[in-house]
Amino acid sequence: MVILLILLAFLAFFALWAIGVYNGLITSRNGYKNAFAQIDVQLQRRFDLIPNLVETVKGYMKHERETLDAVISARSAAQSGLAAAKANPGDPDAMAQLAAAQGQLNAGLGRLLAVAEAYPDLKANQNMMQLTEELTSTENKVAFARQAFN
């Protein structure tokens, strides 16, 4: 009888331990999904700013069509990468695709902003200054969200 009680106590302890481990795993999964959702929100905000930036720049940079097209195509690729990563945030391949697309977008935006430096009227444009500030702020928020995800 004592052995049976000890066995039942052991089984109850093991069951409670297994439930605790399972709950911990679920909490971790929900945590990384929530962290990725924060990245998603900030990247989406960034994607929404880019067309406004391109439209603002387009009037000043008539001879830089190639740079503008590169930014637009990089934005489309980054949105596709985000959609793939959003479908399965735990997939390393989807995350690698997203990282590569974001790298291309960063390079395109960097070129665009570097070329924009050559246009003093554009740099003084209030809309351009506001969009650049919002883009910088969004980049900081993306970095913070990535830190929480990792």
Q: What is the pLDDT of residues 26-54, one digit of tens each?
A: 999 999 889 889 989 988 999 998 888 88
Within a domain: 78: yes
What are the tens digits of pLDDT across the range 94-142? 888 988 998 999 998 888 888 888 888 877 788 888 888 898 898 888 8
Within a domain: 79: yes
CATH code of 50's domain: 1.20.1440.20
Alpha helices for 1-150 (secondary structure H): 2-58, 65-87, 92-116, 120-124, 126-149
What are the tens digits of pLDDT across the range 56-92? 888 777 777 888 888 889 989 999 988 888 888 878 8
Within a domain: 51: yes
Question: What domain range includes position 99?
Answer: 32-149
Q: Enter the pTM of the model.
A: 0.75
User: How far apart, in whole angstroms, are the C-alpha atoms of residue 2 and residue 9?
Assistant: 10
User: How far apart, in whole angstroms, are the C-alpha atoms of residue 18 and residue 70?
Assistant: 52
**What is the number of domains present in the chain?**
1
User: Is the C-alpha dihedral spanning 104, 109, 115, 117 positive or negative?
Assistant: negative
